[in-house]
Structure 1
Amino acid sequence: MICFEAVMEDHRMGSAPNYTTACIVMFGVNVMMLLILAWVFWGLLAAVFLALCLNHLMDRMSVWAAARQAASIRRGKRL
C-alpha cells in the first residue's frame, strides 16, 4: 500500500499564474463590446456619450484611489 504522505510530497503547490495582462485585455474587450452594442441600439451619439462617461468614471476612480492611499499613509498604514 502506498503511503499518503509519500504521494503528497510529489504534489507541492507552485505559485499562481499572473493573470493581470489577461484581465486588462478582457476589460478592454468588454468595454469595446459595450460601446458597439450602444452604437447598434442607440446610435453613435449614445456610444460617444457612454465612452465619455466611462472615461470620467475611470479618472475619478484614480482620484479616489489616491485619496484613499494618502489617508492610509496618514494613519500609518500602507495599502
Structure 2
Amino acid sequence: MEQRSRTHAPDHTTANLVLIFVNMIWIFLVVWGAFGLGAVAILGAFLNHLITRLEFRLRQHG
C-alpha cells in the first residue's frame, strides 16, 4: 500500500468563536427588542453563571 502523509486539520477555533459572538449579539438584540434591557441583563448573567460552572467542572476533572 502506498504511504500517504497526513496533513493537519485546519484550526477553526477563531472562526467558531466569532460566529458564536455574532449569534449572541443578534439573539441579545431580539430579546432586547421583545422584552427590554432587563431581560438581556438577566440572560447575560445566566450565561455567565453557566460558563463559570462549566469552567469549574472542567478544572476539577482536568
| Band the TM-score falls in, shorter-chain normalisation | 0.7 to 0.9
Matched, 1:29 2:22: yes
For residues 5-51 of structure 1, the C-alpha deviation after alignment (integer angstroms, 9 at most, x for no partner) is xxxxxxx7533211010011111111112211110111110011101
Structure 2, unmatched stretches of 5+, are none
1:54 and 1:33 mapped to 2: Cα distance?
15
Residue among 32, 39, 45 paired with 1:39? 32
Number of aligned positions between the proteins: 62
Q: Report the equivalent of 1:68.
A: 61
2:30 and 2:39 mapped to 1: Cα distance?
10
Q: Report the equivalent of 1:59.
A: 52
2:30 and 2:44 mapped to 1: Cα distance?
12
Q: Report the equivalent of 1:76.
A: none
Identify which of structures 1 and 2 has the higher relative contact order when contacts are C-alpha pairs closer than 8 Å and 6+ apart.
Answer: 2
RMSD after superposition: 2.0
Rg larger in 1 or in 2? Answer: 1
1:60 and 1:33 mapped to 2: Cα distance?
24
